[in-house]
Structure 1
Amino acid sequence: MLLRTRITLLSSLLFAVAGLTVEAQTGAAGRIGGRIFNAAGEPVAGTVVTVQERATGALVKTVSTDARGEFAAGELKPGAYVLAYGYAGDTAAVELTAEKPVADAGRLMLAEDETIMLQKLQVSAEREAFYNSIDRKTYDVGKDVASTTGTAGDLLQNIPSIQVDVEGEVSLRGDQNVTILINGRSSAQMNSNQAEALEQLSADRIERVDVITNPSSKYRPDGTGGIINIILKDGGKPGWSATARANVGNEGRYNGSLYATYNPGPFDVFASVSQRHEERPFEVERSRTQRDANGQTTGSSVSRTDEERSFDSTTLETGGAYRFGKETELTAAVNYGTRDRAWASTQTTVNRDGAGAVTEDYDRLRTGDEEETEYEAELALSHGFDGGGRKLVVELGHESETEEGGDFYANRFRTPGGAEEHERTVVKETSRETELKADYVHPFANGTKLETGYALLAEASDVDFRGSFLDNATQQWVVDVQTTNRFVYESQVHAAYATYAAAVGPVGLQGGLRFEQALTDADQRTAGIVREKDYARVYPSVHASYDLTAAQQLKLSYSHRVRRPDQRDLNPYPQYSDPQNLRAGNPDLEPEDIHSIEAGWQYRGDGATYLASVYQRYRYDGITEVTRDLGNGVLLTTSDNLATSRFTGVELGATAKPLPGLSLNFGGNIYREEIDAANLGFAGTRAEIAWDAKLNTAWEVNKKLSLQLTSGYRAARLTPQGERRPMAISNLGARYAATNRTAFVLTVSDVFGTFKGRTVLDTASLSSDTTMRRGASVVYFGVVHQFGGDAKRRGEEMQFDEGMGGE
């Protein structure tokens, strides 16, 4: 069925209110804004900007740049001013008049590369590795050694607050329902399978990562745990430059990439090609026991699976930007990628009855492959008005993806004896996603700022799954009607939002409201099950900050967020690689809602940053996995809605440089999780205290050699029917800058071989213990070489791996 498109009254009201607000405030006091970039053309966060009277030199205002290098100084009288910024004493002259009280200083460039300039003063002014703003934490990953050899998933393992399990699933503060954006945009592949998408994205393409635990209403409310926004590197350096990388790993792994940019001034273009080959052994051990109503054992089983996985991907990307004067920029990019996967496994299973006698003993052999093709195109137009910081940005993106693959199974029985059994599956999935966004920013002369916009996200997927088995009597393949099915899912989300930010003395405020109309159609065509769910909701957000001193700040925030079921959650047909472990969706799932409130303290000074936050997340209709015993040793894992759950926690963070060349970044989180699953038949409320911690240690031994060690631990976490057991991992890296243009890199992931995932289920009728491990430690040795640009500056750049551009 075609989805309906609606224009809501509230979206019109939001824009009307925005327009009235603009008209009402254009006569306020003066304001100066701008952006600061280093010599590489990259925005610089945390740079102090002072506003001084030109005639007297008197200090009027002191502000600092945010993660995008932007600054704004408000409540200024008409007059002539001088902006001073950077340790090298860079200045810019700006004049305000009664007729033109708002001025945009434009792109302000630091005179030289800050690292080189400040070596003369024995001070390091390198780009901040961590920056905390009113609604997010930003991690600059240019120095992370894993960004040279690994995948995006490997890189996220090194960032505080983020956990990545053995299957590549990402969680934020213990919540696995996280929205991952690429350059602020959603991705069809990231929405369907985050683990695979992160495995296919090379870490060397990432410039920084924003962690947003309580997003403002500007952002989509999807993701009850919050948002992880991955910012990719792009062109922007004057002249031309290129970076080539090649890495070779153990067990046949290798990857490489070439990235080139050209920027003569009014425009810039870039192109990249990357290729990755992975070999990853994987093993699963599982045991289970079934019991009757009297607690007597009725059956048990143990199994072990050994699997070899291989993965090949190739990505081609090109794009550029053209600047029409100072105020207007048109950007475009296209991306083409192919991914091929193959796997082979052997699963040995022994089933016993209640008395312990063996009823089945067999091997299940599996071979399979999958091919995936992805196309993506983006177009954006940015236009500023009158040099006053007002800006309109319109973005259009489209993504199309096709996956085709299949599996072949053979069951070989020892007990009882009998003929070998064969099965096969073939699946084809197509998906597409179109996103249209229009965002308008209007800063006012008194330092306040209004942001408003509209967004449309349209998604569609079509999954055609075909299963069959070999009839040993006729030697003919027979359609398996229990698994063969076709499922079509379509959705549209229309959104309108407005946020308003103001600063009154030491107090900063940001309030927002987002209205969304969601239209969804889930069509299980084989079974004739159709579910249409249309709903409209309002998602408010509030952020406040208070500057106790120049170095200390308090923060308070609230947001309302949602998790919408996707096609994997809704399709009721079972899929499995093991006939004893079925997995199916639930077409009657409701959206999950969460209310999140957070209070925090920050200290920033003397080269260190300390953070402390207290938060609570109240969730209702939470989507969770539930495992049920279907009898005869068969378990079905499906999704259902919880009644309620609560997370109450404390998060601590610190960055410091206790010794010259030594940097520490610590993040820790302890929380109490309380689950009420009475509506699913589980008696009482279950609660447990869990915690996780991560320490990243970086040591610049000298100008050429740097070392890095990241260690993380996650304690046991509660599930409705049991818990996920503790998990630990340590990653090691080293980079050596051999010349001004060439560096060598060594990385070791899971140094001590401790990385595994273990899940325990314990109910009255079922106990289960499953442990998953990947193979041995992943080791890579690589080389990075940079072409073009200034060789001297490149030599300094090799310390930070910033050679692929900035925003």
Structure 2
Amino acid sequence: MKIIVKVLCLVWFSVATLHLQAQRTGLAPERERPQIGVVYGSVTDNSTKEAIQFATITLISKRDSSAVTGGITDEKGRFRVIEIPLGQYSVEVNFIGYKIQVLSGVKLSPRESVERDLGEISLEPASTMIEDAEVLASKELMRLEIDKRVFDVSQNITSAGGSANEVLENIPSVEVDIDGNVSLRGSQNVTVLIDGKPSGLTGSSRQAVLDQLPASSIEFVEIITNPSAKYDPDGMGGIINIILKKNKLFGYSGNISITAATGDNYNGAFSVSKRNDKLNIFANYGSRYADRFSERRTDRITYDDTRPSELIQEGRGSRVNFSHNMGLGTELYLSSKSTVYVNGNYQLKESNDEDRNEFLIFTDMNGLTSKEEYFRENTEKDSGNIIGLNVGYELSFIPRQKVLSVDFSFSNNSSEEVGIFNEFENPGNTFNYIERNDIGNDFQFYSGQIDFENRIGENWKIETGIKSTQRKVGSDFKAFTNSETSDELVLADSRSNDFEYEETILGGYAITGRSLGKLGVQLGLRAEQALTDSYLVTTDSLFENDYFSFFPSGHLKYQLSQEKELMLSYSRRINRPRTRQLNPFTDFSNPLLIRVGNPFLLPEYVDALEASYSFRTKAFQLMTSVYYKQVNGVMSRLVSLEDEVSTVSYQNLNSSINQGLEVILTWKKWEKWNMMLSGNAYKTASDGSNVDSDLSNEGYAGNANANITYKSKGWQVQASARYRSPFVILQGEIQRIFFSDLAVKKSILKEKGSLGLRVSDMLDSREFNFETSGGNFEQKGRRKRESRNIYLSFSYNFGKLENKNKRNKAGSSREGMDGIDL
């Protein structure tokens, strides 16, 4: 709703400006007055004293009653209008649902002052209501803030019926690979948050959570490529913050949506909320069922002077995911100054994998070639749940010059996995080996923080805070193998392990910001003490790694004009090792690909510098960015080969450099068309000479996204396409990927409902191809998952929303606009 209002306000200003120009056409030229005037202040509700965002500020010339310039209030209700021609004005303050407030006698002159502080301007709510209203304005696809880009995804129909992963695929510079791994500008070292909280999104659980989170529950996606010191420093590539839908208007509203797709894929979602002047409560539920096939082929050649060989592995399988997602939250308004909030979420998940692989090994010895063939069947069942709780309190000092907030979060992600592996030498299933793996995983996250914001006048801002987080991760792996003396499976102690990891981080930050006319400056520093323990219970081995770190940040923003601005930012961030990388016990679950962690693996640090230019008109918005990132102590996955068995291990390398150019263009030249194009080109270079003199690589890569939407008479058509070029990795290269989607939606039931049809990966071209090599081997591989599906969806909105300050006072008029009937 806020975005719609903002668009309406921008349209209003554009019309007013055109009208002003038309009025002056044909008039005699007059001497241009210096444009050095500035007015600033804040806008609040006179009853609740809450800040009003997106209120319009219009300066009307006393000379000819024309609208000269204006502005819009920010999220704190503040405004600052610059480059005003000197003269006398009246200032008109307006917002939908409020009575217009006019301030007369505002004079800007060198003799008195070219700057005027209008103070706190209070608006009186209008008390009337419109039973039926049709909102025609469309939301902005992207808006820029000093340290982030915000994308509205609520209108994206090419992800309708899909998951959060499919939403992220439509975000510029964000990529999601075939396994659900998320990357930003080519880096998978990215932090993903939901409503600003981790919510159990760590390690392999991230892919599962995002794949089972319905796209229909997401409203915005925030991309923070160079976060300030206020944010946790984890995630070297930046931060992706997924904002779920919540109602911020008075009244009640809800939505029901269901989707069915080819290949046995279904999902449904329901959300409802109600808000008054004392309480806001909201709840949602979503369920997903997905059955998708996969296939793969790997061809590896091993070079050995006495026994060269070739291994061909082919496999095909299916994966069934079933999940329930539930959320419940409330905001209690104790007074106009203080708010208490409580949010909870629960996810129940289950997956079943079935896989069959064929292995062919050709060995050349003394000129003779031998052939060995065997099969391996895998069956895995994984079930678990995620519980999250967030409690907080916010106290503001009118007019929100000072804000104190306290926040506590807890989440628990637990799962039980059972995998059964059968190996046999011929299709007749004459087996010679059976193994069952029972894996118990548990992840707990605790977070507590206190933040304080103080605005000193209109130009200074100081923010400070402290935070403590604790992560506890447990992985109990038990392997059972067939016995030579019995048909029963027995515990194999040599292949089983119990690993625990605990991490405590104590941190604090301080940020100061200053507005100097057209220039905005923000500097920050964060300090953290990390205490980590890795404990291998199986061998009673404890590994401690404590470290102290500083994370400075800086942001500059220069307003060239109302349409153009420059931004420069710097930040230092960290990527900490995951438990799988730290666990020193050897994982034999795949006999041809064993894994072993490194408990002495250190975190890697990145220094990131970025410069951006933004140009915006009514019809389009262009943003270009150049960036440079240097990573020190790179954590890298290394593969070695011996006796036909690959071993994966982890080491810290010297460094890597990533530098590139990003361009994002949103275009709305015509009323019915929307278009967003983006491209990212970059160069990467890795230096691993501290491990091996030949362990270095560099190359160029890029990606491009296109999203085009057409709307007319209740119809909406959207097409999207994504391309990623080949790119180098430390020991090889990943091949190019291209895929495209198409969707159609029709409004029905008096605009309250809609029917949608979409086709994902129309050309069935989305697959993962790679080439890797080492000192004694070369390998090529292809992996493909089911990606071309046809989705049919239905959505229905219900309820009545009203302006948050609607009141039926005695004697009030019945005019205004503070109600929207959905």
TM tier, smaller: 0.7 to 0.9
> Is the aligned partner of 1:670 residue 2:681?
yes
Q: In structure 1, what residue type is equivalent to 2:587?
A: Q
2:26 is aligned to: none
Corresponding residue to 1:319 among 329, 337, 348: 329
Matched with 1:657 is 668
Aligned to 1:686: 697
Q: Is the contact made by 1:73 and 1:447 (CA closer than 8 Å) also made in structure 2?
A: no
Is 2:109 the counterpart of 1:73? no
Question: Deviations along 1:245-302, whole A, 9 cap, x unmatched?
Answer: 111111111111111111133211112221111101111211111123x6x8722201
Residues 24-43 of structure 1: pairs in structure 2 closer than 5 A: 32-34=41-43
Aligned equivalent of 1:763? 774
* Counterpart mapping for 1:791-806 below 5 A: none
Establish whether residue 578 from structure 1 lines up as the match of residue 568 from structure 2.
no
Q: Which residue of the partner structure matches residue 725 of structure 2?
A: 715
Amino acid at match of 2:191: T
Contact 2:462 2:511 in 1 (8 A): yes
Q: Distance in 1 between matches of 2:77 and 2:300?
A: 57
SS at match of 2:322: strand
Q: SS where residue 165 of structure 2 aligns?
A: helix
User: Match for residue 648 of structure 1?
Assistant: 659
| 1:300–1:633 Cα contact (<8 Å) kept | no
Counterpart in 2 of 1:366?
Answer: 378
CA distance in 1, matches of 2:127, 2:508: 38
Counterpart for residue 328 of structure 1 = 338
Q: Which amino acid aligns with 2:362?
A: R
Secondary structure of residue in 2 paired with 1:188: coil
Q: Which residue is equivalent to 1:152? A: 164
Q: Secondary structure at the match of 1:578?
A: coil
Aligned to 1:540: 552
Aligned to 2:286: 274
Q: Distance between the aligned counterparts of 1:320 and 1:776, measured in 2?
A: 38
Output the CA distance in 1 between the equivalents of 2:710 and 2:759: 16
Distance in 1, Cα, partners of 2:599 & 2:787: 40
| Secondary structure at 2:246 match in 1 | coil
Q: Secondary structure at the match of 1:409?
A: strand
CA RMSD for the aligned pairs?
3.4
1:741-756 to structure 2, matched below 5 A, reads 741-756=752-767
Correspondence for 1:519: 531
1:187 offset after TM fit, Å?
Answer: 2.3
- Aligned 1:219-258 pairs, distance under 5 A: 219-258=231-270
1:223: Cα distance to partner? 0.5
Equivalent residue pairs, number: 748
Distance 1:534 1:313 in 2: 38
Three-state SS of the structure 2 residue aligned to 1:569 is helix
- Alignment partner, residue 432 of structure 1: 444
Contact 1:94 1:103 in 2 (8 A): no
Distance 1:63 1:626 in 2: 55
Partners of 1:218 and 1:764 lie apart in 2 by 45
Among all aligned residue pairs of Structure 1 and Structure 2, give the percentage whose two residues are the same amino acid.
25
Q: Does 1:603 align with 2:615?
A: yes
Displacement of 1:680 in angstroms is 2.2
Shift of 1:231: 0.9
- Quote the offset at 1:64 in angstroms: 3.9
Classify the secondary structure of the residue corresponding to 2:160: helix
Query: Does the CA contact (< 8 Å) of 2:226 and 2:570 recur in 1?
Result: yes
For residues 489-500 of structure 1, the aligned pairs below 5 Å read 489-500=501-512
CA distances 1:489-519 after superposition (whole Å, capped 9, x unpaired)? 1111111111112221111111111111111
* Structure 1 residues 142 and 118, CA gap change in structure 2 (3 angstroms): closer
Q: Which residue of 2 aligns with 1:103?
A: 120
C-alpha change, 1:53 and 1:318, in structure 2 (3 Å) is farther
TM-fit CA distance, 1:103: 3.1
The structural deviation recorded for 1:92 is: 4.3
Residue 388 of structure 2 corresponds to 376
Query: Counterparts of 1:134-283 in structure 2 under 5 Å?
Result: 134-283=146-295
Which amino acid is the alignment partner of residue 648 of structure 2? Answer: T
Name the CA distance, whole Å, in 2 between partners of 1:162 and 1:297. 44
Change (3 A) 1:487 1:704: same
The one-letter amino acid of 1:396's match is F
Larger mean CA deviation between 665-674 and 407-416 belongs to 407-416
Confirm or deny: 8 A CA contact 1:163 1:171 kept in the other structure: yes
Contact 2:754 2:794 in 1 (8 A): yes
| Per-residue deviation, 1:720 | 0.9
Taking the aligned partners of 1:474 and 1:569, their CA distance within structure 2 comes to 36
1:118 offset after TM fit, Å? 8.4
Tell me the secondary structure at the aligned position of residue 668 of structure 2. Answer: strand
Which whole-Å CA distance do the structure 1 matches of 2:295 and 2:122 have between them?
A: 58
Which of 411, 420, 425 is the equivalent residue of 1:408?
420
Q: How far off is 1:577 after superposition?
A: 4.7
The answer on whether the counterparts of 1:72 and 1:447 sit within 8 Å (CA) in structure 2 is no
CA 402–417 in structure 1, closer or farther in 2 if over 3 Å, else same = closer
1:84 is matched with 93
Who is 1:291 aligned against?
A: 303
Q: CA deviation at 1:561?
A: 0.5
Distance 1:93 1:452, change over 3 A: farther
Separation in 1, partners of 2:782, 2:123: 56
- Where 2:201 maps in the other structure, the secondary structure is helix
Mapped contact 1:359–1:415 kept (Cα < 8 A) = no
Cα distance between partner residues in 2 of 1:516 and 1:744: 50
| Counterpart-to-counterpart distance in 1, 2:127 and 2:60 | 18
CA deviation after TM superposition for structure 1 residue 594, in Å: 0.4
5+ residue gaps, structure 1 = 1-28, 120-124, 792-802
Change (3 A) 1:107 1:329: farther
Task: Please report how far the alpha carbon of residue 215 of structure 1 lies from its aligned counterpart in structure 2 after TM superposition.
Answer: 0.6
Letter in 1 for 2:528: E
* Structure 1 match to 2:808: none
Q: Distance in 1 between matches of 2:39 and 2:671?
A: 43
Counterparts of 1:528 and 1:81, CA distance in 2: 77
Cα separation, 2, equivalents of 1:106 and 1:181: 36
Q: In structure 1, what residue type is equivalent to 2:500?
A: V
CA distance in structure 2 between the partners assigned to 1:626 and 1:555 by the alignment = 38
> Given that residues 150 and 202 in structure 1 are in contact (C-alpha distance below 8 angstroms), is that contact kept between their aligned partners in structure 2?
yes
Structure 1 Cα separation of the partners of residues 325 and 572 of structure 2: 37
8 Å Cα contact 1:147-1:206 kept in structure 2: no
Aligned partner letter, 2:757? L
Compute the displacement of 1:764 (Å).
2.8
**TM-superposition CA deviations, 1:95-116 (whole Å, max 9, x none):** 999xx98537599999999x97
Match of 1:184, SS state, is coil
CA distance in 2, matches of 1:104, 1:571: 60
1:469–1:106: structure 2 CA closer, same or farther, 3 Å change rule? farther
- Give the secondary structure class of the aligned counterpart of 1:154: helix
* C-alpha distance in 2 between matches for 1:96 and 1:334: 51
Structure 1 length-normalised TM: 0.86
Measured in 2, the distance between the counterparts of 1:585 and 1:267 equals: 50
Tell me the CA shift for residue 483 of structure 1. 2.6
1-structure distance, mates of 2:560, 2:352: 57
Q: Counterpart of 1:189 in 2: which secondary structure? A: coil
Contact 1:759–1:771 (Cα < 8 Å) also in 2? yes
Q: Is the 8 A contact 2:640 2:774 kept in 1?
A: no
Aligned partner of 2:32 in structure 1 is none
Asked if structure 2 preserves the Cα contact closer than 8 Å seen for 1:74 and 1:445, the reply is no
Offset at residue 72 of structure 1 (A): 3.6
Partner of 2:318: 308
